């Protein structure tokens, strides 16, 4: 099971080579064996998963297929509301977040045949790029368990990387899908703002939140996105834009594609092995026939600051009651970040939203006149030791968080699709990664390039030495 | 340790971008134009359903 992809498992189930119950039992057994050390899950739903798998198996016996994910075990970040299961949002409170209905993406994936294994660990309130969580136990990087898994969708990345689940859902407000995907050596997609409904997923920042898929291969992310994407009456920000066939778009044709390697900001001060890994990935892309060039983009620091102002303001508004009534329950760094948001005047918040509109318009017009996609690093260095995320004065920890997420946050403000793809390993055995960023609603091109890269390389096939 | 000093410095640094950049925003600029920018930036032609 640890070598299955979603596509491969779905095909094997359809061919009768493995049953949904067998696949689910295998994942649950692996969770039981390994998750005590990895801490990927907050809630494992043994009974519910097996009940769903048995029902799917019975339907299969009658020739009834729910969809492309029939019998595929998945897991969800613990900010997705799922009826019958607690939702902690990574907080100390067992059921902090309550929604009126199931999370839209979970419902869509279940309708396509997915089995829900449980709810995944995350940074408290989805605030934190390292994936540490003092309440539920720090999720561990499967490649080196003394190192951070990245966050905030830490459990999502760990579960997929360690083969506990075939795929997962994460959310990304400043990099929270791409950072853990990069740190753990899997693929993570932050779709275009509005491409995937956020209904039933705990908000952190309405203006910057994105829900997206995480899996071992780009192809599997395309499969998941196909099911997740589209308009939703429950989320006014979900775009009515038509959903293309993302899997059909993975035709390997990247010859002539204009790829810009971003030279300003993204390589400044980053780890030498990370830089070398990303530049080697660009070389591979060039060998595939793409027209790779170096490119300067409008200063990402401006958009990063604007995004930060908006996120801090909205997060503090959303969690004002928790901050007011139970501040002692919050980790000091999370509390400090929320408190800062309380001090941002409405004037600055609204000017930031207006600036964002202007900056986005300018970025799209300037950059995509020259190239079709961008390539850049995702994380400035391989996953740091857990102590880097947990030890030190609060202001220093906040500063470290800002530095670790500085390469992802600009694309949240810009709302552009961004895909993290593994591209090697450091000398210490930790994953390297790059991100591919595309035009708004052009996930198809981003995925096509990522898939072509994975066909030419085998980084995504490497497995960590877990028993 | 008192964290208010570093926090005030962070706040000031963060809000500096508004002081530097927002002064010449057009009167017509509004938050909703962000969504309009994304919709206008969609690739033409190749994004229709199969």
| pLDDT tens, residue by residue, A113-133 | 999 999 999 999 999 999 999
Mean pLDDT of A402-414: 97
Residues of B within 8 A of A401 (CB-CB) are: none
Taking Cα atoms as reference points, which of A198, A356, A297, A312 lies closest to residue B22? A356
Quote ipTM for the complex.
0.93
> B47 falls in which pLDDT band (50, 70, 90)?
very low
> A466 falls in which pLDDT band (50, 70, 90)?
confident
pLDDT digits (tens, 9 = 90+) for B9-39: 888 888 999 999 999 999 999 999 999 999 9
Cβ atoms A324, A289 nearer than 8 A: no
Residue A467 lies in a domain: no
| DSSP symbol at A91 | S
Residues of A within 8 A of B18 (CB-CB) are: 309, 347-348, 351-352, 355
Domain that holds residue A27: 6-461
Domain count, chain A: 1
In this predicted structure, the answer to whether residue B3 has a pLDDT above a threshold of 70 is: no
| DSSP symbol at A204 | S
pLDDT at B44: 80
Distance, C-alpha A300 to centroid of its chain: 21
Per the annotation, the verdict on A119 as an active-site residue is: no
pLDDT digits (tens, 9 = 90+) for A205-257: 999 999 999 999 999 999 999 999 999 999 999 999 999 999 999 999 999 99
pLDDT digits (tens, 9 = 90+) for A299-337: 999 999 999 999 999 999 999 999 999 999 999 999 999
pLDDT at B48: 43
Separation CA A159–CA A154 (nearest Å): 9
Cα torsion A17, A20, A21, A23 to 10°: value is 70
Domain that holds residue B14: 4-40
| CA A15-A20-A25 angle, 5° bins | 135
In this predicted structure, the answer to whether residue A161 has a pLDDT above a threshold of 50 is: yes
Q: How many residues does chain B have?
A: 50
pLDDT at A252: 95
| DSSP symbol at A384 | P
- The A residues from 306 to 335 touching B (CB cutoff 8 Å) are 306, 308-309, 312
Residue A180 burial by Cβ neighbours in a 10 Å radius (0-12, 13-18, 19+): buried
Q: What is the secondary structure of A390-433 as a DSSP string?
A: HSS-HHHHHHHHHHHTTTTHHHHHHT--EEEEEEEE-TTS-EEE
Mean pLDDT of A266-293: 98
Residues of A within 8 A of B39 (CB-CB) are: 239, 241, 440
pLDDT at B50: 34
Separation CA A370–CA A382 (nearest Å): 31
In this predicted structure, the answer to whether residue A467 has a pLDDT above a threshold of 60 is: no
Separation CA A192–CA B45 (nearest Å): 18
Name residue A75's beta-bridge partners.
Answer: A168
Domain count, chain B: 1
Residue A157 lies in a domain: yes
Question: What angle, rounded to 10 degrees, do the helices at A346-370 and A300-318 form?
Answer: 140
Taking Cα atoms as reference points, which of A102, A103, A113, A65 lies closest to residue A226? A113
In this predicted structure, the answer to whether residue A273 has a pLDDT above a threshold of 70 is: yes
Q: Which of A171, A176, A311, A316 is catalytic?
A: A176
Separation CA A364–CA B43 (nearest Å): 11
A-B Cβ pairs (cutoff 8 Å, strict)? 127
* Average pLDDT value over all residues in chain A: 96
In this predicted structure, the answer to whether residue A95 has a pLDDT above a threshold of 80 is: no
Separation CA A43–CA A40 (nearest Å): 9
pLDDT at B9: 84
| CA A188-A189-A190 angle, 5° bins | 125
Three-state DSSP class for A262? strand
Cβ atoms A447, A419 nearer than 8 A: yes
Q: CB neighbours of A120 closer than 8 A, spacing ≥ 6?
A: A40, A41, A42, A75, A76, A77, A78, A153, A154, A155, A156, A158, A159, A168
Separation CA A417–CA A178 (nearest Å): 11
Residue A323 burial by Cβ neighbours in a 10 Å radius (0-12, 13-18, 19+): buried
Which of the residue ranges A30-34, A85-89, A444-448, A453-457 would you say has the lowest mean pLDDT? A85-89
Phi then psi dihedrals of residue A237, to 5 deg: -90, -5
A382 touches chain B (CB under 8 A): no
Taking Cα atoms as reference points, which of A280, A261, A259, A398 lies closest to residue A339? A398
Separation CA A377–CA A264 (nearest Å): 12
Separation CA A163–CA A307 (nearest Å): 34
If you measure CA to CA, which chain B residue comes closest to A355? B22
pLDDT at A357: 98
Compare CB distances from B49 to A243, A306, A357 and report the shortest one's residue. A243
Q: Give the full edge-to-edge strand order of the sheet including A73-77.
A: A41-44, A115-120, A73-77, A167-172, A210-215, A187-190, A418-425, A431-438, A373-377, A258-262, A291-295
- The A residues from 344 to 363 touching B (CB cutoff 8 Å) are 344, 347-348, 350-358, 360-361
pLDDT at B45: 60
In this predicted structure, the answer to whether residue A403 has a pLDDT above a threshold of 80 is: yes
Residue A134 is part of a domain; what is its CATH number?
Answer: 3.90.1300.10
pLDDT at A236: 95
Percent of chain A having pLDDT more than 70? 99
In this predicted structure, the answer to whether residue A394 has a pLDDT above a threshold of 70 is: yes
In this predicted structure, the answer to whether residue A265 has a pLDDT above a threshold of 70 is: yes
pLDDT at B10: 83
In this predicted structure, the answer to whether residue B6 has a pLDDT above a threshold of 80 is: no
Residue B45 lies in a domain: no
Residue B50 lies in a domain: no
**Is B47 in contact with A242 (Cβ distance < 8 A)?**
yes
Report residue A226 as tokens.
């196909």
Separation CA A274–CA A276 (nearest Å): 5
Cβ atoms A413, A356 nearer than 8 A: yes
pLDDT at B46: 47
Residues of A within 8 A of B29 (CB-CB) are: 354, 357-358
Name residue A437's beta-bridge partners.
Answer: A374, A418
Residue A1 lies in a domain: no
| DSSP symbol at A243 | P
């Amino acid at each position: 099971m640890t070598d299955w992809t979603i596509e491969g498992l779905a095909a094997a189930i359809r061919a009768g080579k493995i049953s949904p119950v067998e696949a689910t039992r295998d994942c649950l057994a692996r969770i039981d064996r390994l998750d005590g050390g990895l801490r990927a899950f907050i809630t494992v739903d043994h009974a519910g998963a097996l009940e769903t798998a048995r029902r799917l198996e019975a339907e299969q016996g009658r020739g009834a297929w729910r969809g492309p994910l029939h019998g595929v075990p998945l897991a969800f970040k613990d900010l997705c509301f799922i009826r019958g299961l607690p939702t902690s949002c990574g907080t100390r409170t067992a059921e902090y977040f309550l929604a009126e209905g199931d999370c839209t993406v979970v419902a869509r994936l279940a309708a396509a045949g997915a089995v829900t294994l449980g709810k995944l660990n995350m940074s408290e309130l989805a605030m934190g790029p390292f994936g540490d969580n003092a309440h539920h136990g720090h999720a561990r990087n499967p490649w080196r368990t003394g190192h951070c898994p990245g966050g905030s969708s830490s459990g999502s990345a760990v579960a997929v990387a360690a083969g506990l689940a075939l795929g997962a859902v994460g959310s990304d407000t400043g990099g929270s899908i791409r950072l853990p995907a990069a740190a753990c050596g899997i693929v993570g997609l932050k779709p275009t703002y509005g491409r995937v409904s956020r209904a039933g997923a705990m908000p952190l920042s309405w203006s910057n939140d994105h829900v997206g898929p995480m899996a071992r291969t780009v192809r599997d992310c395309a499969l998941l996105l196909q099911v997740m994407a589209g308009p939703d009456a429950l989320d006014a920000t979900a775009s009515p834009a038509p959903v293309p066939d993302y899997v059909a778009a993975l035709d390997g044709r990247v010859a002539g594609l204009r790829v810009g390697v971003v030279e300003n900001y993204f390589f400044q001060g980053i780890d030498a092995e990370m830089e070398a890994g990303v530049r080697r990935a660009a070389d591979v892309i060039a060998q595939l026939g793409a027209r790779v060039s170096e490119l300067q983009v409008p200063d990402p620091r401006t958009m990063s600051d604007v995004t930060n102002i908006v996120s801090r303001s909205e997060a503090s508004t959303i969690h004002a009651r928790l901050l007011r009534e139970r501040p002692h329950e919050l980790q000091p760094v999370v509390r400090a970040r929320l408190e800062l948001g309380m001090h941002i005047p409405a004037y600055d918040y609204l000017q930031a939203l207006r600036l964002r509109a202007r900056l986005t318009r300018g970025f799209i017009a300037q950059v995509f006149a020259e190239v079709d996609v961008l390539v850049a690093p995702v994380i400035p260095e391989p996953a740091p030791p857990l102590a880097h995320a947990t030890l030190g004065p609060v202001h220093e920890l906040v500063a470290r968080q800002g530095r670790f997420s500085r390469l992802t946050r600009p694309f949240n403000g810009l709302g552009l699709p961004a895909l993290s793809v593994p591209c090697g390993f450091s000398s210490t055995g930790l994953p390297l990664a790059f991100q591919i960023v595309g035009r708004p609603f052009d996930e198809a091109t981003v995925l096509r390039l990522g898939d072509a890269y994975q066909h030419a390389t085998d980084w995504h096939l490497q497995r960590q030495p877990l028993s | 340790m008192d964290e208010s000093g570093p926090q005030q410095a962070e706040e000031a640094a963060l809000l500096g971008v508004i002081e530097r950049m927002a002064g010449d925003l057009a009167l017509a600029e509004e938050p909703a134009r962000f969504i309009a920018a994304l919709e206008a930036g969609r690739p033409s032609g190749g994004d229709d359903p199969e």
